């Protein structure tokens, strides 16, 4: 009983400290006009463009100056971009990190400058910030559950993962294995990275099909890699639906391939909602307000619920992709 009381006191103390952190950061930012900066890890993807466009539209509607940068998937460039934005007077940051470990010191620089920072889509390993976005591990779970359900718990799968070391990609694959490890009838033939890229996925899958022609499904961690996998299947003479292919994001090209019977399912990241939630959270904190969130071992989080997209979804909702 004594230990339980100590535990409760500890939890209450942590909750108080976290709430105080939000108010203090907001008060610091409130002393000067809000200037919003979005540091994108890349802008070569429609979902990332939606992040930028949504935040820009909301900021301009509220009368705030808006600055954006494109790191082109280069962590060093992103660190330089953020430091440059600090010199430009940006005091309210939304950051989509390209590498969770390498951006830690940059986030701490934002903290040391007394500015507000919200992480969108992918988190960093430390620093005072709030993460907003889809739980990519949950997306992996949804994809694996869908495929294993269609396979009735027995089959051979190949995992095509994103860029090694990327927060989002690591957790997506962990989600796959959360489900696979509970299904002994599922054999993972191999796991290979294609760095979120269609052409690289095409080349990777072409080689894999030579070794594993009897594969039942490709679990791809985004739509671009799924599209590459489908091109490889077409080139190898497979028919639509003969091998299942999954993805994530819900891009237009994936939806079109789904209508043709090639793409089995994808997971909608809800990018408009992610960006809107990130912006609204940022402005609330910058003005000294508080936001409801969960607080775990890796910091504060506000989740957005992903949605499975398959042919039944398309027929029921008319979803056309991003």
Angle (CA) 108-270-163 rounded to 5° is: 55
CATH, domain range 136-270+309-317: 3.40.50.2300
Is 2-128+271-304's fold the same as 136-270+309-317's? yes
Task: Look at residue 98 in the predicted model and tell me its pLDDT.
Answer: 72
Query: Which residues is 220 bridged to in the sheet?
Result: 160
Over its length of 322 residues, how does the chain's per-residue pLDDT go in tens digits? 444 343 333 333 344 334 334 433 443 444 689 999 999 999 988 899 999 999 999 999 999 999 999 999 898 999 999 999 999 999 999 999 877 777 888 888 899 999 999 999 888 877 889 999 989 999 999 999 999 999 999 999 999 999 888 878 899 999 999 999 999 999 999 999 999 999 999 999 999 999 999 999 999 999 999 999 999 999 999 999 999 999 999 999 999 999 999 999 999 999 999 999 999 999 999 999 999 888 776 678 899 999 999 999 999 999 999 9
Residue ranges covered by each domain of the chain = 2-128+271-304, 136-270+309-317
How many helices (H) and strands (E) the chain has is answered by 11, 13
For the segment(s) 2-128+271-304, the CATH number from 3.40.50.2300, 3.40.50.1950, 3.90.105.10, 3.40.50.620 is: 3.40.50.2300
The rounded distance, in Å, linking the Cα atoms of 23 and 27 is 6
Contact 238, 212 (CB under 8 A): no
The count of residues in the chain is 322
Task: Look at residue 297 in the predicted model and tell me its pLDDT.
Answer: 65
């Amino acid at each position: 009983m004594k230990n339980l009381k100590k535990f409760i006191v500890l939890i209450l103390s942590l909750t108080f400290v976290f709430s105080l952190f939000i108010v203090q950061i907001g008060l610091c930012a409130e002393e000067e006009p809000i200037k919003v900066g979005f540091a994108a890890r890349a802008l070569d993807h429609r979902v990332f463009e939606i992040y930028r466009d949504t935040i820009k539209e909301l900021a301009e509607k509220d009368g705030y100056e808006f600055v954006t940068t494109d790191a082109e998937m280069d962590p060093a460039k992103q660190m330089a971009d953020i430091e440059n934005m600090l010199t430009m007077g940006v005091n309210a940051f939304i950051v989509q990190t390209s590498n969770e470990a390498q951006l830690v010191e940059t986030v701490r620089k934002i903290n040391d400058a007394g500015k507000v920072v919200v992480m969108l889509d992918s988190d960093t390993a430390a620093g005072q910030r709030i993460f907003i976005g889809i739980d990519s591990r949950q997306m992996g779970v949804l994809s694996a559950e869908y495929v294993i359900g269609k396979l009735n718990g027995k089959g051979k799968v190949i995992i095509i993962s994103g860029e090694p070391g990327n927060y989002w990609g690591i957790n997506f694959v962990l989600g796959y294995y959360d489900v696979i490890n509970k299904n002994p009838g599922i054999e993972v033939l191999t796991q290979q990275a294609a760095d979120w890229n269609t052409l690289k996925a095409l080349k990777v899958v072409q080689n894999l099909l030579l070794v594993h022609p009897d594969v039942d499904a490709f679990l791809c961690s985004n739509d671009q890699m799924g599209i590459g996998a489908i091109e490889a299947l077409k080139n190898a003479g497979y028919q639509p639906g003969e091998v299942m292919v999954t993805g994530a994001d819900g891009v237009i090209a994936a939806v079109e391939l789904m209508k043709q019977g090639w793409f089995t399912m994808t997971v909608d990241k809800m990018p408009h909602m992610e960006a809107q939630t990130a912006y609204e959270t940022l402005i609330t904190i910058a003005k000294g307000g508080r936001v409801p969130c969960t607080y775990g071992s890796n910091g504060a989080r506000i989740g957005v619920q992903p949605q499975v997209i398959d042919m039944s979804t398309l027929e029921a909702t008319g979803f056309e992709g991003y």
